Amino acid sequence: MKKLISLALFSTPALAVENNQLDLATTLGSLIFVIALILAMAWMLKRMRVPAFGQQKGLSVIRQLAVGTKERVMIVQAGEEQFLIGVTAQSVQLISKLDKPLQPQETEAASFTNQLTQLLKKHDNKPSV
């Protein structure tokens, strides 16, 4: 009986320490998992280029031209005015306000369709050999 009581007294702190370490490891592992999940979702949203949550009425990009890997020159329309801006990874700089506004360019899909149609017409007009 004395052995059983002494075994119970000495084994309980060891089990308590082991359970505390297990609880700490489980909590830490869960925390790391949640942080990794948040970072992965943020990376996915950035890659998918999801538009901003707020509406951007009255503000649009009319034309843009890439001048480097992360540098662009854009014409932006805000209300009735148009601005020529330079955009880099670190900043956005106003280059000039346009005196004569440009008309919005047709969409890329329509432009591609027009180019494809012109190529097909050229191909049909060639004399066959």
Residue 119 lies in a domain: no
Contacts of 82 (CB under 8 A, 6+ apart): 62, 75, 76, 97, 98, 101, 102
| pLDDT reported for residue 43 | 86
What are the pLDDT digits (tens) for 95-108? 989 888 877 655 45
| H and E: helices and strands count for the chain | 2, 4
Residue 125 lies in a domain: no
% residues pLDDT > 90 (the chain): 24
Q: How high is the mean pLDDT of the chain? A: 76
Rounded-to-integer distance, Cα 76 and Cα 59, Å: 7
pTM for the predicted model, two decimal places = 0.41
Q: Are residue 32 and residue 73 in the same domain, yes or no?
A: no
Pairing of strands 92-97, 59-66: unpaired
Rounded-to-integer distance, Cα 2 and Cα 48, Å: 69
Domain count along the chain:
2
What are the pLDDT digits (tens) for 14-45? 555 577 778 888 999 999 999 999 999 988 88
